[in-house]
């Protein structure tokens, strides 16, 4: 059994395998369900560096630093229990603790129908203003039609709360400006599913309509709204960022342009509220033309997108400047990205390089996010559920408060998972040194080549268990808590892990408890609380430590055993009060326990006697033979004030003193620049003498084309002055390093030179009578929109460029002295020819190619097939704007088919994009297609279910007006398939008749539309389980559908003036023969009526039993807490299995309650427990 809660957090980036979704940790932690204490946006800002660590001056006096008085310790836990007895039938709860010295806690319980897409049918709002001792039922403050769906709290003024009401299709909101003491409602003209508060302005909101995909804005706290844009991608819209955007009314969003049908085009809109007037940044966004869906992320100084179809996908804008392609020193194909961090002078990014034989590497960028250098290879990754997609996530944790420290799990060649730590932005990595003693104080068992390995971000283990993620806090510098094991690999089993704590940012560790626990920190880190996660075993006590986990005491919080659903404390970790909530059994209502731990602490802390200054020191410093007097890491000495382990209470008024002081530069502050590598002599040598990447075409609006040329991606040498010239040495300062007094000659060296003969790189000489063309790039193929560079050596020559299929048409190129650049706008092969002006027999020629990139490749095959029967599989590629890829656009395309991990390679021809397969066993089989042209590669995977037998109904379509093959884009076919499925499922009496024959839509009734003309749809009837339903019933069901379609003369309007009519349908049996359908076949009217009557009786009986049982049970209870970026969100607790607790309730209408979210959270109490 598992129990969990979820709250909301600010955060990160990633892509799915189909269309390249960028996933960002900072963005995701702002978007996803998280732990309860994340509901306060004040703590969120502190947690993510929006309010940088600084030395507090106002509160440094002894009088201000002393904690407030508390009750004399009684050594007994103070517990106040409250029973939500009136809400036994409610199966969800959303909890928000205001925090920041507020005593208010909201709990919204609600009842959701258990049918797919079930509605919220009941709700009760509870409010406490005494830290949860007593809760007041506030339903009398709303009218009788009110059913509250969710609520959002202002990040800058917790008194302002907006509730979404399901009344009138969620067309009403309730607003409180006094933290829930009173409410006022506003009717709105659209369905609102999600609200985003402005980061500064208390009354400014963004409202999102999920069904219409439309974004609205309000500047008067939800009273009136204006529409900003339709087609907006969910969760891909952002308020302005202070210090980066010029106007605080700026909104950046990703949207789909529906005016370019049948193209699929996603773009960026940057405009000003309320009338959506374009910002200056809009012109820079327009240059990208087409981006991938779900790829826009705006955070800190950066804007990240993925350009559709690009081999090197990641494009970055720094401080709203022009977008540039991110350059990686490993040039393998990039399929997925996870942007881990971007707020410490570098962008930390996980990159997956291939969908086949995948390898994931971790990169660290320069300060602008353009040049990325590899930090460590083979980082463990996992697929995280996000709505309907799976997003790529690396198993890494950025340690809060301490700059440059990250902990990651690395996959070895033998398949082991080992944990490494870096404290210098990925330049050096070390294993975690295991503690010498276990949690009982005994020596650890000796182990050769063993290290401490921890569970980091992957909370759903490979073996299927849930494991709480690593925890660190910006408000508690140095503290890290995580589960793990000592050995050569990480252990997943909950009974074999232990709880480990570090108090020095991961440099040393202690084992403090065995087995799996919920854990939470409070009182500025002086208090730790842990609750055992025992599967299917309720508990009555918790464990408490007041000395950073050195000693623990057990305390009873309940006389009756409780299944704990969650444990949380006030956001910010300043208080000594907690809320624990759970239930006795599935039929029980929720019980809330307000816990005050101050009586367990013997005295108040005294300043300065009970405090110390901790200086962050790395393992490298600790093992150095010549340690420096101060530990300088990344050019700074980081010092933090913290309490000693002296069993005292710090209190709410304490303000921590922190400092980051720059130190003098040393050799440790430098590394080889991008494009260089370290020689054994300690010098940096250039790694790529030729151009490493293809340049981008940049349009600055001045009427001509400019080029993002970076022939040598390092600074040029200076001019020769007085016989001296500065030459780049190959070294650069590590990004994020702030050291001062740089070492002389470290980055530039002075060399002798002649003013008349400037220093140049060595080049070959060519006699004046010859002409020589040299390609400067490593490849002769490039994508449309990129450029290739070449040099021309010779005295006098004419240069021409022609497209081979249009030799009479000249193509413009750029020539600057002896270096040229070519970036044509049409795909094809191009001939570059240089001819000596005096002697035309002297010439040289280069052939280069420009093609569109393959944006996506899709597999089309029947969802179910019959065993031992061949079936056809087709691959279709799309290019720019989702258009069908042809050889004239893409060039030759190679297709690589993989069936159950076995390669089948088709010849080098784009016309042979199909294959025939058969399977000799009844089970699911995997199919993978890789499509590759000269400039790009894309892959897709699918599964086909093999059954003992099938019956197939073919529906030929007659289109009016006729359509052509260019309309058969993947997006159009998907939409058509949905329309056809919906149309057929709504045929009169079909649902009842199909149930009578054991047919269920999507289970053993499938609709498939191949991408070919003339269009037809295939309806497959298959057994759900072995030989059930039998073949004769499948044939009977096919005939029923056939007759209904014939009777109703099925016609479908697919938009854009196109109408499709089913003509001459027919049934094909398993042997491939056409089955005759006579007038006597099918089901008589009397039988149809009997089916309908019996079905109605059965449905009524099921509803009656279900309602009676549900009203007495809590078998599907969920706990939720607070939400996104700047607004509290709701987490979900599922109660019945040992898996990850986080469900993606991204729209608050519970579309995805079954989706488990494995991303670790960093706030408050952990939300699930089991054993």
- Bigger pLDDT: 1118 vs 811: 811
Could you report the per-residue pLDDT of 728-740, keeping only the tens digit for each?
888 989 999 999 9
Residue 240 predicted with pLDDT over 60: yes
Q: Where are the alpha helices (DSSP H) in 404-525?
A: none
The pLDDT confidence band at residue 111, using thresholds 50, 70 and 90, is confident
Between CA 737 and CA 212 the distance in angstroms is 47
Residue 729: how many CB atoms within 10 A of its CB? 18
Q: What is the DSSP string of 783-801?
A: EBTEEEEEEEESSSEEEEE
DSSP assignment, residue 967?
G
Residue 1168 predicted with pLDDT over 50: no
| Arithmetic mean of pLDDT, 1089-1099 | 51
User: CB-hemisphere CA count at 13 Å for 795?
Assistant: 8
Q: What is the DSSP string of 93-150?
A: EEEEE--TT---EEEEEEEE-SSTT--EEEEEEEEESSTTSS-EE-GGGS-TT--EEE
User: Which whole-number Å values give the CA distances from 207 to 125, 191, 270, 273, in the listed order?
Assistant: 22, 9, 16, 12
Residue 909 predicted with pLDDT over 90: no
Residue 408 predicted with pLDDT over 90: yes
SS3 assignment, position 683: coil
Between CA 131 and CA 104 the distance in angstroms is 6
Smallest CA-to-CA distance from 1017 within 987, 1045, 997 is with 1045
Lowest model confidence (mean pLDDT) among 235-239, 651-655, 980-984: 980-984
Smallest CA-to-CA distance from 991 within 1100, 1099, 1103 is with 1099
Rounding to the nearest 10 degrees, give the CA dihedral for residues 418, 424, 427, 429.
-20
Between CA 327 and CA 667 the distance in angstroms is 25
Between CA 78 and CA 87 the distance in angstroms is 26
Lowest model confidence (mean pLDDT) among 12-16, 483-487, 761-765, 1160-1164: 1160-1164
Residue 524 predicted with pLDDT over 80: yes
- Residue 620 pLDDT: 56
Could you report the per-residue pLDDT of 34-61, keeping only the tens digit for each?
232 222 222 222 222 322 222 222 222 2
**Do 246 and 252 meet the contact criterion of CB atoms below 8 Å apart?**
no
| Arithmetic mean of pLDDT, 17-21 | 48
**Do 564 and 542 meet the contact criterion of CB atoms below 8 Å apart?**
no
- Residue 815 pLDDT: 77
The 3-class SS string of 58-85 reads CCCCHHHHCCCCCCCCCCCCEEEEEECH
Q: 612: which strand partners?
A: 642
Residue 172 predicted with pLDDT over 50: yes
| Arithmetic mean of pLDDT, 71-99 | 75
Please, is 31 exposed, middle or buried when counting C-beta atoms within 10 Å of its C-beta (0-12, 13-18, 19+)? buried
Could you report the per-residue pLDDT of 115-146, keeping only the tens digit for each?
545 678 889 999 999 988 999 999 999 998 89
**Do 453 and 489 meet the contact criterion of CB atoms below 8 Å apart?**
yes
Residue 905 predicted with pLDDT over 60: no
Superfamily of domain 768-948: SoxY domain (2.60.40.2470)
- Residue 430 pLDDT: 94
Residue 21: how many CB atoms within 10 A of its CB? 25
Lowest model confidence (mean pLDDT) among 302-316, 599-613, 663-677, 1006-1020: 302-316
Smallest CA-to-CA distance from 895 within 919, 911, 872 is with 911
Residue 727 predicted with pLDDT over 70: yes
Residue 284 predicted with pLDDT over 60: yes
Q: Where are the alpha helices (DSSP H) in 1024-1126?
A: 1031-1048, 1085-1110
SS3 assignment, position 1042: helix
How is residue 1087 written in tokens? 């039988």
User: Which whole-number Å values give the CA distances from 1028 to 912, 1024, 1033, 1070, in the listed order?
Assistant: 38, 6, 9, 16
Residue 375: how many CB atoms within 10 A of its CB? 23
The pLDDT confidence band at residue 1126, using thresholds 50, 70 and 90, is very low
Residue with tokens 């703590």: 43
- Residue 218 pLDDT: 97
> 539-553, 909-923, 1028-1042: which has the highest mean pLDDT?
539-553
E strand or H helix that includes residue 854? none
> 46-55, 62-71, 270-279: which has the highest mean pLDDT?
270-279
- Residue 903 pLDDT: 54
The pLDDT confidence band at residue 297, using thresholds 50, 70 and 90, is very high
The pLDDT confidence band at residue 568, using thresholds 50, 70 and 90, is confident
SS3 assignment, position 561: coil
Give CATH 2.60.40.2470 domain extents, the chain.
768-948
Dihedral of alpha carbons 85, 87, 92, 96, sign: negative
Per DSSP, which regions of 680-770 are E strands? Answer: 684-686, 695-698, 706-708, 724-728, 731-733, 748-752
DSSP assignment, residue 259?
G
The pLDDT confidence band at residue 68, using thresholds 50, 70 and 90, is very low
Between CA 1124 and CA 1128 the distance in angstroms is 6
Residue 384 predicted with pLDDT over 80: no
SS3 assignment, position 981: helix
Q: Where are the alpha helices (DSSP H) in 851-969?
A: 887-890
Taking the model in full, what pTM does it have?
Answer: 0.74
Length of the chain: 1171
The pLDDT confidence band at residue 509, using thresholds 50, 70 and 90, is very high
**Do 472 and 400 meet the contact criterion of CB atoms below 8 Å apart?**
yes
Q: What is the DSSP string of 521-543?
A: EEGGGTEEEEEE--TT--BSEEE
Average pLDDT, the chain: 77
| Arithmetic mean of pLDDT, 685-692 | 59
User: Which whole-number Å values give the CA distances from 654 to 39, 480, 527, 643, 1164, in the listed order?
Assistant: 22, 21, 14, 11, 19
- Can you give the C-alpha Rg of the chain in angstroms? 33
Residue 296 predicted with pLDDT over 90: yes
**Do 904 and 898 meet the contact criterion of CB atoms below 8 Å apart?**
yes
The pLDDT confidence band at residue 4, using thresholds 50, 70 and 90, is very low
Give 3-state DSSP helix, strand, coil % of the chain, rounded to 5: 10, 40, 50
- Residue 636 pLDDT: 94
Lowest model confidence (mean pLDDT) among 91-95, 606-610, 677-681: 91-95
Q: 905: which strand partners?
A: 896
Residue 211 predicted with pLDDT over 90: no
Please, is 962 exposed, middle or buried when counting C-beta atoms within 10 Å of its C-beta (0-12, 13-18, 19+)? exposed
Dihedral of alpha carbons 625, 629, 631, 633, sign: negative
The pLDDT confidence band at residue 702, using thresholds 50, 70 and 90, is very low
The pLDDT confidence band at residue 1143, using thresholds 50, 70 and 90, is very low
Could you report the per-residue pLDDT of 429-486, keeping only the tens digit for each?
999 999 999 888 888 888 888 999 999 998 877 777 888 889 999 889 999 999 999 9
The pLDDT confidence band at residue 69, using thresholds 50, 70 and 90, is very low
- Residue 634 pLDDT: 93
Between CA 1005 and CA 951 the distance in angstroms is 10
- Is the preceding omega at residue 313 within 30 degrees of 0, hence cis? no
Could you report the per-residue pLDDT of 328-346, keeping only the tens digit for each?
887 667 778 899 999 889 9
- Residue 865 pLDDT: 92
Between CA 139 and CA 174 the distance in angstroms is 12
E strand or H helix that includes residue 447? none
Please, is 1169 exposed, middle or buried when counting C-beta atoms within 10 Å of its C-beta (0-12, 13-18, 19+)? buried
């Amino acid at each position: 059994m598992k129990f969990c809660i979820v709250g909301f957090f600010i955060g990160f980036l990633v892509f799915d395998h189909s269309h390249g979704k960028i996933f960002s940790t900072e963005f995701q932690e702002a978007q996803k369900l998280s732990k309860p204490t994340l509901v306060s946006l004040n703590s969120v800002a502190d947690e993510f560096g929006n309010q940088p660590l600084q030395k507090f001056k106002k509160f440094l006096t002894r009088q201000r630093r002393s904690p407030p008085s508390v009750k004399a310790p009684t050594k007994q836990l103070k517990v106040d229990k409250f029973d939500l007895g009136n809400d036994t039938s409610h199966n969800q709860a959303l909890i928000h603790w205001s925090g920041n010295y507020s005593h208010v806690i909201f709990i919204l319980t609600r009842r959701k129908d258990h049918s797919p897409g079930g509605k919220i049918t009941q709700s009760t709002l509870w409010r406490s203003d005494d830290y949860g001792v007593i809760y007041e039922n506030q339903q009398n403050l709303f009218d009788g039609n009110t059913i509250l769906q969710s609520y959002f709290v202002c990040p800058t003024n917790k008194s302002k709360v907006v509730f979404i009401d399901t009344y009138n299709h969620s067309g009403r909101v309730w607003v409180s400006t006094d933290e829930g003491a009173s409410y006022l409602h506003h009717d709105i003209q659209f369905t609102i599913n999600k609200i985003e508060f402005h980061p500064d302005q208390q009354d400014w909101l963004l409202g999102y309509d999920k069904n219409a995909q439309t974004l609205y804005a309000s500047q008067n706290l939800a009273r009136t709204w204006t529409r900003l844009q339709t087609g907006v991608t969910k969760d891909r819209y952002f308020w302005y960022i202070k210090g980066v955007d010029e106007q605080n009314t700026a909104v950046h969003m990703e949207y789909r342009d529906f005016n370019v049908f049948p193209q699929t085009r996603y773009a960026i809109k940057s405009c000003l509220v309320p009338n959506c007037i374009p910002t200056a940044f809009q012109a820079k966004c327009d240059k990208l033309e087409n981006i991938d869906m779900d790829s826009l992320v705006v955070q800190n100084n950066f804007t990240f997108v993925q350009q559709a179809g690009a081999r090197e996908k990641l494009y970055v804008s720094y401080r709203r400047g022009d977008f540039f392609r991110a350059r990686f020193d490993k040039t393998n194909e990039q399929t997925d990205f996870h942007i881990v961090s971007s707020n410490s002078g570098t962008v930390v990014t996980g990159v997956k390089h291939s969908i086949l034989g995948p390898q994931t590497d971790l990169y660290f960028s320069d300060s602008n996010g353009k040049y990325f250098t590899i930090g460590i290879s083979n980082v463990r990754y996992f697929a995280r559920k996000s709505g309907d997609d799976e997003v790529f996530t690396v198993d890494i944790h950025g340690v809060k408060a301490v700059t440059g420290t990250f902990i990651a799990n690395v996959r070895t060649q033998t398949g082991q998972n080992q944990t490494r730590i870096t404290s210098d932005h990925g330049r050096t990595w070390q294993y975690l040194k295991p503690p010498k003693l276990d949690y009982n104080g005994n020596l650890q068992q000796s182990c050769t080549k063993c290290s401490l390995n921890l569970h980091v971000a992957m909370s759903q283990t490979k073996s299927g268990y849930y494991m709480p993620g690593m925890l660190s806090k910006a408000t508690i510098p140095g503290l890290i808590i995580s589960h793990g094991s000592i050995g050569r690999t990480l252990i997943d089993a909950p009974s074999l892990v232990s709880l480990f704590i570090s108090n020095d940012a991961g440099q040393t560790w202690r084992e403090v408890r065995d087995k799996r626990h919920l854990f939470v920190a409070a009182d500025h880190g002086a208090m730790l609380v842990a609750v055992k996660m025992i599967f299917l075993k309720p508990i009555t006590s918790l464990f408490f430590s007041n000395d950073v986990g050195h000693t623990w005491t057990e305390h009873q919080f309940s006389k009756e055993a409780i299944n704990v659903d969650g444990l949380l404390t006030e956001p910010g970790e300043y208080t000594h009060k907690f809320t624990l909530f759970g239930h006795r059994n599935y039929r029980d209502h929720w019980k809330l326990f307000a816990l005050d731990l101050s009586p367990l602490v013997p005295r108040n802390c005294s300043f300065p006697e009970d405090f110390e200054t901790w200086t962050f020191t790395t393992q490298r410093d600790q093992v150095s033979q010549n340690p420096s007097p101060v530990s300088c890491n990344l050019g700074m000495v980081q010092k933090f004030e913290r309490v000693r382990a002296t069993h005292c209470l710090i209190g709410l008024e304490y303000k921590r003193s922190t400092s980051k002081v720059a130190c003098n530069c040393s050799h440790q502050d430098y590394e080889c620049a991008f494009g260089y590598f370290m020689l054994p002599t300690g010098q940096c040598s250039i790694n790529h003498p030729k151009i490493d990447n293809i340049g981008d075409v940049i349009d600055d609006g001045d009427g001509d084309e400019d080029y993002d040329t970076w022939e040598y991606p390092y600074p040029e040498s200076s001019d020769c002055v007085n016989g001296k010239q500065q030459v780049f040495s190959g070294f650069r300062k590590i990004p994020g390093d702030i050291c001062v007094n740089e070492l002389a000659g470290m980055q530039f060296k002075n060399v002798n030179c002649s003013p008349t003969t400037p220093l140049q790189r060595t080049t070959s000489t060519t006699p004046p009578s010859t002409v020589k063309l040299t390609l400067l790039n490593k490849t002769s193929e490039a994508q449309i929109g990129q450029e290739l560079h070449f040099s021309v050596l010779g005295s006098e020559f004419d240069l021409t460029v022609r497209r081979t299929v249009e030799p009479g048409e000249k193509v413009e190129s750029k020539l600057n002295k002896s270096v040229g650049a070519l970036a044509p706008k049409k795909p094809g092969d191009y001939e570059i020819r240089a001819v000596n002006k005096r002697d035309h027999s002297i010439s040289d020629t280069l052939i280069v190619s420009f093609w569109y990139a393959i944006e996506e490749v899709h597999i089309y095959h029947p969802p179910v097939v019959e065993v031992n029967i061949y079936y056809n599989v087709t691959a279709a590629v799309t290019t720019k704007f989702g258009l069908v890829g042809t050889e004239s656009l893409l060039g030759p395309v190679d297709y690589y088919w993989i069936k159950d991990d076995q390669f089948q390679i088709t010849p080098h021809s784009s016309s042979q994009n199909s294959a025939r397969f058969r399977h000799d066993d009844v089970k699911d089989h995997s199919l993978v297609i890789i499509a590759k042209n000269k400039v790009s590669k894309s892959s897709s995977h699918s599964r086909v279910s093999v059954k003992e037998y099938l019956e197939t109904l073919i529906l030929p379509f007659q289109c009016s007006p006729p359509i052509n093959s260019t309309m058969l884009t993947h997006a159009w076919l998907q939409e058509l398939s949905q329309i056809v499925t919906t149309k057929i499922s709504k045929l009169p009496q079909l649902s009842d008749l199909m149930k009578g024959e054991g047919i269920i839509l999507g289970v053993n009734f499938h609709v498939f539309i191949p991408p070919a003309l003339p269009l037809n749809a295939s309806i497959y009837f298959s057994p759900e389980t072995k030989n059930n339903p039998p073949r004769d019933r499948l044939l009977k069901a096919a005939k029923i559908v056939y007759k209904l379609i014939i009777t109703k003369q099925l016609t479908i309007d697919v938009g854009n003036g196109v109408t499709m009519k089913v003509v001459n349908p027919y049934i094909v049996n398993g042997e491939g023969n056409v089955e005759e359908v006579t007038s006597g076949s099918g089901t008589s009217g009397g039988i149809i009526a009997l089916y309908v009557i019996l079905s109605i009786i059965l449905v009524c009986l099921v509803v009656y039993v279900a309602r009676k049982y549900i009203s007495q049970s809590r078998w599907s209870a969920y706990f939720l807490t607070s939400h996104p970026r700047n607004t509290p969100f709701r987490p979900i607790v599922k109660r019945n299995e040992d898996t990850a607790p986080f469900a993606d309730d991204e729209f608050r209408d519970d579309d995805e309650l079954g989706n488990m979210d494995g991303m670790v959270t960093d706030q408050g109490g952990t939300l699930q427990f089991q054993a």
